[in-house]
Amino acid sequence: MSDTIYSTICPGCNFGCGLYIRENRALDVDFRKSSPANAGKLCRFGMSLPRFYKPIKSMVDGKETSIEDAAKEAAKRISAGKGSTAFLSFGNTTCEELLALRKASESYLCTGVNFEGLPKDTYQTLSVGIPYSEIENAKHIVLFIDPYEQYPLIVRRLISAKNKGAKITAVWWKDLALATENIRPEDVSKLQFTKDSLIIADFHPFSDVEQVKSVLSLAKNAGAKVTFLKPFANSTGAYIMSKDAKQKSLAQLVDDINKGTIKTLFCLESNPLELIPSEALGKLTNLIVQTGQAPDTKANIVIAHEPLYKKKGTLINNEGRAQALGGAGTNGLDALGIVAGTKFDFNSLHESVKKALGVAAIDEFTIPKYERPAYGAIQAAPKQPEAKTALVSVFNPFMWSNLSDDNDFVELSLNTVRALKLLKGGMLMIKSNGSAIEKRFKVAPVPDNVLLSCRKFGIEKGTITPVEISR
Ligand code: SF4
């Protein structure tokens, strides 16, 4: 059997790293040196893609079926509960499919982030970031992320900037080795921003709206550049393609499921278990998941389309760079057509994508021109953790994809280890919301009231969870 090689984009985050997937009996990853976002380099998640792409079958109520029959049954159930279905996708698929989803979505579309809580004139700044090459030429970079953990391929750009003389300030819970200055989030008001500063933050469904507004406001007041990185491949495409659609936030969606006004949830390439509390999911009459790799949740209907690397279509990364996938598959699009009661034509959706971007062709080496309208003054009131001890979740590609990694521990300060008399190689007891878990720990340069974790333990309440700790 000969190999089939696909030129594709890593689905681990919205950095847009290009790579090859070689398919024979198993999958292999090959480097694509010509890729403008990453020049062939991949992080641990990119190298783990053969583990990420788990095979999947279409199912209706636990019985295996064809993709067409699963999509037909989904259409039947959506139509039976007219007006009580929500459609959710945070990206992870092509712009063409996202346009089709928007058309299918009646009036309830959720691309996940809380745009309702943010001023409308900041939308474009949040949706599309700046070219990575501008990071390399910045004089002062202020990080509101942990680049090593969350968006690893940006580290090369930061090191290049530093080698050219850039000062790097990390506003983070842990001292970062590449930073020339490390300050804690609660001390950000002491920091001097200027028009030469470039702020790098991130934006995702669990982002604290006040924190996002605060970052936007710091940039505005100083005339600094700001760029928001995003955790889902093609998040930028999801925002651009649904720019004019009325959207609901994830919080609103959870509320509506709990109230019973939403009874059916259709998720396109977005894992509901990662995003929605399981108590809320349990209240749904129908959970319909359309995806290219095995979901880790029990859905009433699974519509199994091709994995991302086999698809035909367009992804847009953090920079706004549009990239064509090298596959030929459109069975995801065809299934969305059955769900919507229409037939979607790839070519006409592709024309709409190009029109939205103002380009004649998708060329990964030329970033389309985006308008970046100025936004008005913003009032923000970011909260700092008040709890004696807080568990801070550092969302990274493994965490978002629920893919196991070797990081099943928390990081805590040496002072905390001494105060609790923790033993080397021993365990730390963490209590929250009536649950108690035991975890391995590692000493790190973090504040004494913070535990950092790159893994979900099932006791979290958003990004910052008040906890009690003991030996
Ligand atoms: S940085 Fe993001 S896109 Fe690049 S290889 Fe890692 S997970 Fe994939």
**CA contacts within 13 A on the Cβ side of 56:** 28
**Which residue CA neighbors atom 7 of ligand 1 most closely?**
12
CA 62 to chain centre: 29
* Residue 14, pLDDT score: 97
* Residue 86, pLDDT score: 95
**Which residue CA neighbors atom 4 of ligand 1 most closely?**
17
Supply the pTM of this predicted model: 0.94
The minimum-distance atom of ligand 1 relative to the CA of 41 is: 5
Instruction: Name the β-bridge partners of 85.
Output: 264
Best of 35, 38, 234, 321 to mutate for ligand 1, by most ligand atoms within 8 A of CB?
38
Calculate the dihedral angle through the C-alpha atoms of 448, 451, 454, 459, rounding to the nearest 10 degrees: -170
How would you classify the pairing of strands 464-470 and 450-453? Answer: unpaired
Q: How far is the CA of 463 from the centre of ligand 1 (A)?
A: 21
Specify the CATH class of 55-382 in words: alpha beta
**In which residue ranges of the chain is CATH 2.40.40.20 found?**
389-470
Quick check: CB of 224 below 6 Å from ligand 1? no
* Residue 385, pLDDT score: 62
Range 4-50 has CATH code 2.20.25.90: yes
Q: How far is the CA of 363 from the centre of ligand 1 (A)?
A: 20
**DSSP label at residue 234:** T
Q: Are 202 and 144 in contact (CB under 8 A)?
A: yes
**DSSP label at residue 311:** B
Quick check: CB of 147 below 6 Å from ligand 1? no
Q: How far is the CA of 93 from the centre of ligand 1 (A)?
A: 15
Contacts of 268 (CB under 8 A, 6+ apart): 87, 88, 89, 93, 97, 98, 101, 290, 291, 336
Tokens of 365: 């080496």
Rg, the chain, Cα only: 22
* Residue 404, pLDDT score: 83
How would you classify the pairing of strands 264-268 and 464-470? Answer: unpaired
Secondary structure class of 178 (helix, strand, coil): coil
* Residue 76, pLDDT score: 96
Quick check: CB of 18 below 6 Å from ligand 1? no
**In which residue ranges of the chain is CATH 2.20.25.90 found?**
4-50
| Separation of alpha carbons 17 and 12, rounded Å | 9
* Residue 354, pLDDT score: 97
Pick out the chain residues at pLDDT < 70.
1, 296, 384-387
**In which residue ranges of the chain is CATH 3.40.50 found?**
55-382
**CA contacts within 13 A on the Cβ side of 110:** 29
* Residue 1, pLDDT score: 62
* Residue 218, pLDDT score: 95
Q: Are 308 and 292 in contact (CB under 8 A)?
A: yes
| Separation of alpha carbons 234 and 313, rounded Å | 11
| Separation of alpha carbons 87 and 89, rounded Å | 7
Fold annotation for 389-470: Barwin-like endoglucanases (2.40.40)
Contacts of 301 (CB under 8 A, 6+ apart): 59, 60, 61, 70, 73, 74, 77, 286, 287, 288, 289
Quick check: CB of 19 below 6 Å from ligand 1? no
